[in-house]
């Protein structure tokens, strides 16, 4: 097939008076071809019109294509059963050539990112071998759009707590934040809306304000808008997770950070530099880190159980045995679980990542020395001393109560409070009955006192004679 340029040349030479033999020799095409082109007088390449085997079945193809929702295997099967002498390849070529069921692909766009203008964040589910067990992990990634500097970590679950903790780590790794953070329409960050109408959750908006950036979301179906962070996930899965065995979650994230440093330092033929070299030019445009940012933590309120533990995410963390029955404030960070009694930190544990449910994490210092509980029982607490000073008749009941509760002081505090609040005679009478029947539950004791007070109040006064 002679292209348009040669046809134009042949026509130009013919118009100049050159013969077909000379033109054929100069252009290096057959003399008959030169004659055909001169005879046509057109520089446009004629289209080849060939009969298509599928053309007689066009209406059937359109109907079956709609019925089977584009499944060409089913379409070809029905056409064959109907007697059509048509190969599957001829059918697919006909459908492709005539655009049946296919919209023309729009051209891909290109985005320009000024230094420090935007970073992108997203997550992707993967599997990693942790302690020789294939474990589902959530891979979180953060990328600076201009320099492509990347930071990623892995988590057993993905909530707003993990999201804030990861973003804080990533921004610290970069040494600053971009002006905006592009993400998909994730419920972890988004409170309502999508795309340009997205409204972030108040706590996430406050977090972003602290670091000086704003969350933005791309429109639904416009995944190319966040391609900077989407593209590396396949490389993380195939180039880092595949074939590796990690000792635990801590080892997984430590090696992930080392791999981040390695990839960021590698020369990229696409970028014509390493990410670190490009980042050196972008860094001055980043929002500087705040002078002070509190560590990201999740707050819980827990009562120390009878065994001396608090429960957080189905993991039990030990507390000093002297605090059994007390209400503590538990602060859970990505790395630690800290226990506070008021403003004082009374215990700190390494956070249990991916451990089996109902696992106990115990600090030996929180357990009493051998025989310590007996010694504590023998010693009089301030509450016991005050009770016996007010009413010595309760000595037997208090001694048995201490043995029953195993050194816990809150029942004695409750007993002291009731002794001070309720009528003395009624309290002594009820406590005597409670001791007789070995009743040491403070709620039931208080209920008996209130019933007795109510009965005394309803009792009619006897008429004097």
How much of the chain, in percent, has pLDDT values that exceed 90?
43
- Which among 432, 465, 428, 430 is positioned nearest to 447, based on CA atoms? 430
Helix (H) or strand (E) segment spanning residue 267: strand 267-268
pLDDT in tens, 20-74: 899 888 888 898 988 888 888 888 877 766 777 888 888 888 888 888 888 888 9
- HSE, side-chain direction, 13 A CA sphere, residue 107: 2
Which range, of 173-182, 197-206, 360-369, averages the lowest pLDDT? 360-369
CB 154 within 8 A of CB 139: yes
pLDDT at 86 over 90: no
- For residue 3, CA distances in Å to 10, 26, 330, 342 come to 11, 16, 78, 86
pLDDT in tens, 317-345: 999 988 888 899 999 999 999 999 999 99
Q: pLDDT-based confidence at 251, cuts 50/70/90? A: very high
pLDDT at 372 over 70: no
Does the global pTM surpass 0.85? no
Average pLDDT over every residue of 12-21: 89
Give residue 302's pLDDT: 95
Helix (H) or strand (E) segment spanning residue 90: helix 88-98
- For residue 378, CA distances in Å to 306, 323, 413, 414 come to 19, 18, 17, 20
pLDDT in tens, 266-320: 999 989 999 999 999 999 999 999 998 889 999 999 999 888 899 998 899 999 9
Give residue 464's pLDDT: 47
- Distance between CA atoms of residues 283 and 277, nearest Å: 10
pLDDT at 355 over 80: no
- Distance between CA atoms of residues 236 and 152, nearest Å: 9
Average pLDDT of the chain? 88
- For residue 25, CA distances in Å to 21, 22, 31, 74, 337 come to 6, 5, 8, 54, 88
Q: pLDDT-based confidence at 371, cuts 50/70/90? A: low
């Amino acid at each position: 097939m002679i292209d348009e340029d040669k046809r134009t040349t042949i026509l130009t030479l013919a118009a100049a008076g050159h013969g077909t033999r000379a033109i054929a020799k100069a252009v290096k095409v057959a003399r008959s071809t030169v004659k055909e082109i001169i005879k046509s007088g057109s520089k446009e390449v004629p289209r080849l019109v060939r009969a298509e085997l599928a053309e007689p079945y066009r209406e059937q193809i359109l109907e079956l294509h709609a019925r089977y929702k584009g499944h060409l295997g089913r379409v070809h099967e029905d056409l064959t059963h109907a007697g059509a002498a048509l190969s599957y390849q001829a059918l697919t070529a006909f459908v492709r050539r005539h655009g049946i069921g296919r919209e023309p692909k729009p051209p891909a766009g290109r985005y320009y990112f000024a230094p420090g203008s935007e970073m992108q964040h997203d997550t992707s589910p993967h599997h990693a071998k942790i302690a020789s067990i294939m474990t589902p992990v959530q891979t979180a990634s953060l990328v600076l759009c201009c320099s492509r500097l990347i930071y990623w970590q892995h988590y057993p679950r993905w909530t707003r707590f993990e999201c804030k903790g990861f973003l804080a780590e990533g921004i610290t790794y970069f040494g600053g934040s971009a002006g905006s953070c592009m993400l998909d329409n994730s419920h972890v960050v988004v409170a309502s809306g999508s795309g340009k109408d997205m409204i972030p959750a108040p706590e996430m908006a406050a977090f972003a304000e602290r670091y000086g950036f704003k969350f933005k979301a791309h429109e639904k179906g416009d995944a190319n808008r966040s391609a900077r962070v989407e593209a590396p996930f396949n490389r993380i899965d195939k180039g880092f997770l595949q074939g590796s065995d990690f000792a635990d979650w801590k080892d997984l994230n430590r090696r992930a950070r080392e791999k981040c440093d390695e990839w960021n330092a590698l020369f990229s033929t696409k970028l014509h530099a390493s990410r670190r070299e490009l980042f050196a030019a972008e860094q001055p445009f980043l929002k500087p880190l705040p002078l002070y940012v509190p560590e990201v933590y999740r707050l819980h309120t827990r009562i120390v159980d009878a065994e001396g533990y608090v429960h957080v995410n189905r993991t039990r963390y030990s507390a000093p045995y002297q605090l059994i029955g007390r209400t503590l404030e538990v602060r859970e960070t990505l790395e630690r679980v800290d226990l506070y009694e008021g403003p004082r930190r009374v215990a700190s544990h390494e956070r249990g990542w991916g451990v089996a449910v109902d696992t106990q994490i115990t600090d030996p210092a929180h357990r009493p020395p051998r025989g310590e509980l007996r010694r504590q029982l023998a010693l009089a607490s301030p509450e016991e001393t005050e009770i016996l000073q007010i009413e010595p008749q309760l000595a037997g009941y208090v001694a048995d109560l201490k043995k029953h509760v195993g050194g816990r002081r809150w029942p004695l505090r409750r007993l002291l409070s009731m002794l001070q609040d309720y009528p003395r005679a009624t309290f002594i009478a009820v406590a005597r009955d409670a001791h007789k029947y070995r009743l040491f539950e403070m709620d039931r004791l208080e209920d008996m006192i209130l019933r007795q007070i109510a009965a005394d109040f309803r009792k009619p006064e006897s008429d004097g004679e």
